[in-house]
Structure 1
Amino acid sequence: MMTKHLTLAGLLAGFTSLPAWAQSIDPQGLEIIGKPVDGLMGFQPGVTELATDLQWLDGMILVIISVITVFVTALILWVAFRYNAKRNPTPASFTHHTPVEIAWTVVPIVILVAIGAWSLPILFRQQEIPVADVTIKAIGNQWYWSYEYVDDDFGFDSYMIGAPALGGENMKTPEVIAQLEAAGYSESEWLLATDTAVVVPVNKTIVMQVTGSDVIHAWTIPAFGVKQDAVPGRLAQLWFKAEKEGVFFGQCSELCGQAHAYMPITVKVVSEAEYAQWLSRAKEEYAGIVPTVTVASAD
C-alpha cells in the first residue's frame, strides 16, 4: 500500500513540477564525483573504506596474476626453444622430478592462502552490518526506485530525469536538458540523474535495506563499493560510510526488463547541517510533518 502511495506521489510530482520539486528538497552546489567518464579506464574515486579496500585488493591480485602470467609464458617459450626436436633430438625419458613437483604444489597453495588472507577480511567487512546512523529502505520497481527513510517515517520515488513516467521518452530532448539544468545537473548527466536523490550525511554509517517489488533488481554505487540484489520477498542489507561530500551515481545492475537501462541511482552526500535542513523539508514534503519551532522563554 505504501509503495502505491509513493508511486502516485512520484508521478503527480513529476508531471506537474519536476524542476521546482527537485530543487526544493535537494542541496545544490555539490561536486559530482562518482560518475562514469567516456574514454577513461579504472575505478571511480573510492569515497568509502569498502571501496578503497576493494580497489586495493583488485590491484594486488592484478599484480600477482600478471607475475604468474609472465612467468608461465616465459617458461613455455623457453621450453619450446630449448627442448624442440632440432636442439634436443634425444629427449629425456624420466617421469618424475620431486623438487619441481613439490614447488608447483606448494607455491600455488602459498599464493592462494595469501590472497585469501587479504580478501576474506574485506569480504567480512562488507557483510558485517554495523549499527546504523541512518537506515534507508530501497525498493526496486520496473523501472524506478522507491526509498523509505525508516527512522523518520517518510519515503519517495526516484525516476530518471526524462523517463516516460515523467512525461519523457528516454531521449535527450531540449525539454529533458532543461529539466536536468533546473535540477542542478548538466547535459552530461543524462541517463544518470534522477528527479529525487537519496540524501545522506557525510561520515555517518548508512544501512540500506534492499528489496524488490516485482523482479530482481540490484542497488549499486561504484564509488561506495556496494552492490546488492533487490529480490522480491527478501530484505537484504548493505552499508557504507561516505567520507567526502558530493554527488554519486549508480545503476540497477540486474537485467530487469525492457527499461532496465533507465533506472539510475543518485546519492548526494552532504554535511550534517545540510542533511538536517533537507530532512526537515523532506518530512514536511512527503509525510506532512510540520517542523516544530522552539520559542525561547522570556526569562
Structure 2
Amino acid sequence: MKIRAYKENFIGALTPQYGREEAESFFYLVLEDFRGMKRSDLALQPDLTLSEEETPQWDFVLAQLHKEIPIQYILGKAHFFGLVFQVNDHVLIPRPETEELVQWILNISPAGPIRILDIGTGSGCIAIALATHLPDAEVFAIDVSTSALRMASGNAQRNDARVTFIEKDILATGNLDQLFDIIVSNPPYVRELEKAEIKPNVLANEPHLALFVPDDDALVFYRKIADLALGNLSENGSLFFEINQYLAKETMDMLEQKGFGYLELRQDIYGNDRMVLARKLQWSNVERRTTD
C-alpha cells in the first residue's frame, strides 16, 4: 500500500476520537520516527509504499492510539527544547509550557559558572535542557523515583549533558547541604478535584505520583521547596516554579509570607498563570509583577 493511502486510512480512523488536526500530527510523528521523513518529504515522494514488515508496526501504533495511549509513550520518546528524550509511564511527558519556563531561566541566568538544582526532575528535561545551553553551569537534579532517575540519567547521556542526579524525597529533606544560584521545580500540583479536567489518556497513563496533590494541601511541595530555597539559595539567587493556574494568588501569597522580596508571575502560551520567579531580597517592601 502506498504511504499516502495508508495516511488517509490512519487519519480517518483516528479523527472521530481525536479530531483531524491531532490525528494528522500523530501520522507525521510516526512517519518521522519510522522513516525519518517529514511532511514535505512525503509530498515530494508520493509513490512511496509500506513494506510487509512496516504495515504491522503502523497498525500497532494505530491500535495503541485507539486505546488512548499517548503517542510519546508508544514511540518511547518526546521532543523538548530541541532535544529528544526517552519517556515511559514512569515519567511525565514534557510539555510546551515547561519549555517557556526553561527559556525564562536561560534569559536571566548570569554568565559564567553557576549552580542549578532541578527538584522533581522526572525525565530530566529541565535539568538537561539547562545543562545543554549553560555549559559553565553545574546542574543537579533530584527525584524520589528510582525509575525516573534511571530514565533521566540515560537522557543526559544521550544528549551529552552533564547533570548530577540524586535520589531524594524532597518532603523528607531537612537541608540541601549546599548553595544554589537557581532552584527550579515543576512539582505535582493538580488537585484531586481537577481530575475531571485531565485528558483521559493522561489520567490513565501518566504517573499520578508526579501529577496529583491532596485537595486540602495543594501547595505542600511549594511550601517545602520554598523553605529549602530560603536556606540554600545564594545571595540574590532565584527560585522558579511551574504552578497550578488556579492557585497563582495562593502561591504568590505563600512566597511573600515566606519572606521572598521579589515575585514575578508569568502566563504561558495558552494565557494561563503558569510560572513564578521568587527572589529573597533585602527590601522593606515586596515587589510583585505579573507578565503576560
What TM-score do you get using the length of structure 2 for normalisation?
0.23
Q: Does 1 or 2 have the higher relative contact order (CA < 8 Å, sep 6+)?
A: 1
Question: Which of the two has higher C-alpha Rg?
Answer: 1
What TM-score do you get using the length of structure 1 for normalisation?
0.23
Q: Larger % of helix: which?
A: 2
